[in-house]
């Protein structure tokens, strides 16, 4: 279907709506067999066709649609030629089922973060980009931002605008990740820490001395929760504030510290035993040396024996009599007695020294782990951006190698509300950081490349895909103000948060779908409650130039085309006739509703079988 003229002159009265969406840039999406779907899109009349894969990363079954790699060079050439002769632009959507093959852009697996999962995602994106280069000659390669779990109530830095369950703010766990291993640790917001009360100087500043409880004789302690940590953080020295960076990290460190205090106490206990044994052993060594000096001198040796007896042989506390067994050993051979005592003490000393070393290692490991832990968003965003940047670098290399006429770029898409990256501010952060990482990689690859040029290439090869249907799923968590209409309030929130994404060229590709704000049902546009018209207004006012793809999915068998038709209607695209003024889309679909006579045409499931009604030319009835 061609949309290169509107047939109207300046003197005509246009009996139609103002066009809110450029029909020449409107497309349609189907998942599964790409060749079959491309033909379906052409027969339907679309100018732009997005081919979506649903395979799990790894080897696939072609009978089930297959992966990009399942389609041969010849088949790819057939698709390319088919699109060319029908003047249809093709875009590609990488599989949304990354997790089915253990792949993830952030590396998040549900249990932790894995670089292996990220590597699988990069590999899947590379083979999809190769398919896009062969079939589409470039353009976007759409991928879902999978992100990682995080609370809803403060997503995007908006406190109290959303809530996934009552008291989420008080009960949502705090999630930290070990940067070395990717291991997660959750702590409850209801956890408490007990901090010693510092003595303050004359100026009111905290000192390193602590108050003593006069009743117990122990240090005074105060119970603190996460809400108290801002005050505690403010009272830290500048050096400690730089160390912890924020109250959240301080709280996490205090929680971890409480888990190590027993190890600290045990190490101290063992070290005290080592010191006491060392003193005892040194005493025996001194006595042995003194006794050896008296050997051969009868009077002196007898005197030394008596002194040893008095100093070394313990007495029964009740009878005050010496331990005669020990006394006998000493009298028989003072040297053997002393050497045995020294040997026993040294053996015990080694045991306690081993304990000290073990607890020291354990504490050192715990301290290093604590220092390695960061709040999950700081780590996860970096990893997600790194994977997107690596994928974009590989797409850029494919583009250069094959000398494509248009850019081959990665188009990360907002997705699950419960995961990071679905909120507009999170979405912006991931795409911005991805571009920064790609620019850095370009500079490392080519030192002569200017910063501005590297930034330009990165911005061209990482452009977001924005799905209004996915955004609408935030509505189920939206907290309307008293007396506010929820749909209208959400539409205002959408305008405030999305307009800047279009204006700043964060968004380069758009998906259209509708739902009722709960799940991604992909019903026809206008049949749900997504702010479609408000979104179109933003696109038009901010001069959006990219493709706009209508995505089916929630229709009955044989009715998927209704989504594309609903997008044309919602976008205000006109219908032209030679003999009359512009008609509306309801004249094409559903025009017989409310009429007293039957329609003079049949479509869809009501149409006769093509096997029974086939023209000589085999041209389809539609």
Residue that has been written with the tokens 């044994």 in this structure = 277
Is residue 444 within 8 A of residue 173, CB to CB? The reply is: no
Q: Are residues 148 and 178 in the same domain?
A: no
Q: Which of 492, 503, 487, 566 is nearest to 539 (CA)?
A: 503
443, 565: one domain: yes
Quick check: is 172 in a domain? yes
Same domain, 39 and 146: yes
CA 108 – CA 383 distance, rounded (Å): 9
Separation in Å, CA 80 to CA 31, 33, 72, 555: 17, 15, 12, 28
- pLDDT for the residue 135: 98
**270, 282, 322, 353, 429 from 277: Cα distances, Å:** 11, 8, 23, 11, 60
Q: Same domain, yes or no, for 457 and 512?
A: yes
Residue 551 and residue 433 share a domain = yes
Alpha helices in 542-610 (DSSP H): 561-570
Structure token digits, residue 493:
């929130």
Ranges in the chain, pLDDT < 50: 4, 7, 15-17, 315
Q: What is the pLDDT of residue 305?
A: 61
- Please report the pLDDT score of residue 526 as a whole number: 93
Q: Give the domain-ending residue among 231, 260, 289.
A: 260
Per DSSP, which regions of 519-565 are E strands? 547-550
Q: How many domains does the chain have?
A: 3
185 three-state secondary structure: strand
Q: What is the rounded distance in angstroms from the CA atom of residue 183 to the CA atom of residue 542?
A: 43
CB atoms within 10 A of CB 318: 6
The domain boundary, picked from 241, 260, 279, lies at: 260
Same-domain pairing of 417 and 279: no
Distance between CA atoms of 2 and 46, rounded to whole angstroms?
Answer: 9
So what's the pLDDT on residue 16? Answer: 46
Could you say which of 318, 343, 372 is where a domain stops?
Answer: 372
**What token pair was written down for 541?**
């006012």
Report the chain's terminal Cα–Cα distance, integer Å. Answer: 13
Assess if residue 107 is contained within a domain.
yes
- Token pair belonging to 27: 């497309």
Which of 57, 152, 148 shows the shortest CA–CA distance to 110? Answer: 148
**One domain for residues 492 and 570:** yes
Strand partners, 184: 177
State the Cα–Cα distance between residues 64 and 563, nearest whole angstrom. Answer: 23
Q: Which residues lie below 8 Å from residue 448, measured CB to CB, with a gap of 6+? A: none
Same domain, 195 and 114: no
Query: What is the CA angle 60-63-65, rounded to 5?
Result: 65
309 and 284 belong to one structural domain: yes
CB 317 within 8 A of CB 311: no
On whether both 396 and 514 belong to a single domain, the answer is yes
Chain centroid, CA 247 distance in Å: 22
Residues 428 and 545 in one domain: yes
User: 419 with 511, same domain?
Assistant: yes
Domain that holds residue 221: 168-260
For residue 608, being part of any structural domain is answered with no
Within a domain: 11: no
Query: What are the residues facing 223 on neighbouring strands?
Result: 194
CA–CA gap between residue 500 and residue 489 (Å, rounded): 18
In total, the chain counts a number of residues equal to: 622
CATH for 123: 3.20.20.150
- How far, in Å, CA of 245 to CA of 238, rounded? 10
- Longest CA span, the chain: 142
Q: Can you give the pLDDT at residue 197?
A: 79
Please indicate, yes or no, if residue 591 is contained in any of the structural domains: no
120 assigned to some structural domain? yes
How many whole angstroms from its chain centre is CA 238?
31
Residue 197 lies in a domain: yes
Residue 613 placed within a domain: no
Go through 92-107 and write b for each residue having 16 or more CB atoms within 10 A of its CB, e for each that does not. Answer: bbbbbebbebebbbbb
């Amino acid at each position: 279907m061609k949309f290169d003229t509107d047939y109207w002159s300046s003197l005509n009265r246009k009996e139609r709506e103002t066009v809110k969406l450029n029909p020449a840039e409107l497309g349609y999406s189907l998942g599964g067999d790409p060749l079959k779907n491309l033909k379906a899109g052409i027969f339907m009349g679309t100018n732009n066709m997005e081919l979506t894969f649903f395979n799990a990363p790894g080897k696939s079954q072609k009978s089930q649609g297959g992966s990009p790699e399942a389609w041969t060079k010849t088949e790819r050439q057939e698709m390319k030629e088919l699109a060319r002769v029908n003047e249809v632009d093709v875009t590609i959507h990488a599989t949304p089922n990354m997790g089915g093959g253990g792949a993830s852009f952030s590396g998040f697996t549900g249990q932790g973060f894995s670089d292996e999962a990220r590597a699988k995602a990069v590999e899947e994106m590379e083979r999809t980009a190769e398919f896009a280069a062969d079939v589409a000659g470039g353009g976007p390669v759409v991928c879902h931002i999978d992100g990682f779990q995080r609370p809803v109530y403060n997503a995007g830095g908006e406190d109290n605008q959303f809530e996934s369950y009552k008291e989420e703010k008080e009960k949502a766990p705090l999630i930290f990740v070990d940067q070395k291993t990717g291991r997660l640790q959750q702590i409850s917001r209801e956890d408490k820490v007990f901090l010693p009360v510092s003595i303050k100087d004359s100026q009111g500043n905290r000192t390193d001395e602590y108050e003593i409880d006069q009743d117990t004789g122990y240090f005074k302690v105060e119970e603190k929760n996460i809400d108290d940590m801002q005050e505690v953080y403010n009272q830290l020295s500048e050096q400690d504030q730089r160390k912890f960076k924020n109250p959240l990290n301080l709280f996490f460190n205090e929680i971890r510290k409480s888990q190590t205090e027993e190890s600290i106490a045990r190490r101290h206990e063992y070290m005290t035993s080592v010191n006491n044994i060392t003193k005892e052993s040194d005493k025996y060594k001194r006595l042995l040396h003194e006794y050896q000096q008296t050997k051969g001198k009868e009077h002196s040796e007898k005197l030394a024996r008596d002194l040893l007896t008095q100093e070394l042989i313990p007495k029964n506390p009740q009878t005050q009599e010496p331990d005669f067994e020990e006394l006998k050993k000493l009298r028989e051979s003072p040297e053997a007695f002393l050497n045995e005592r020294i040997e026993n003490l040294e053996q015990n000393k080694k045991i306690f020294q081993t304990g000290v070393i073990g607890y020291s290692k354990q504490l050192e490991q715990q301290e290093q782990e604590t220092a390695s832990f960061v709040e999950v968003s700081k780590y996860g965003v970096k990893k997600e951006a790194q994977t997107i940047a690596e994928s974009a670098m590989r797409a850029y290399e494919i583009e250069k190698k094959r000398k494509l006429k248009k850019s081959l770029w990665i188009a990360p898409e907002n997705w699950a509300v419960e995961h990071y990256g679905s909120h507009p501010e999170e979405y912006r952060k991931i795409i911005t950081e991805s571009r920064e990482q790609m620019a850095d990689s370009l500079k490392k690859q080519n030192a002569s490349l200017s910063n501005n040029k590297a930034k330009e290439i990165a911005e061209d090869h990482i452009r977001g895909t924005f799905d209004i249907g996915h955004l609408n799923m935030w509505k189920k968590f939206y907290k309307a103000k008293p007396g506010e209409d929820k749909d209208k309030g959400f539409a205002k929130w959408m305008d405030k948060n999305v307009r800047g994404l279009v204006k700043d060229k964060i968004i380069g590709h758009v998906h259209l779908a509708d739902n009722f704000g709960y799940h991604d049902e992909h019903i026809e546009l206008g049949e749900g409650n997504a702010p479609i018209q408000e979104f179109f207004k933003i696109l038009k006012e901010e001069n959006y130039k990219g493709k706009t793809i209508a995505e089916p999915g929630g229709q009955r068998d044989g009715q998927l085309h209704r989504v594309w038709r609903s997008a044309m209607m919602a976008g205000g695209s006109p219908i032209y006739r030679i003999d009359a003024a512009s008609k509306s889309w309801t004249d094409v679909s559903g025009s017989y509703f409310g009429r007293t006579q039957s329609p003079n045409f049949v479509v869809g499931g009501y149409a006769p079988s093509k096997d029974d009604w086939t023209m000589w030319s085999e041209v389809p009835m539609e």
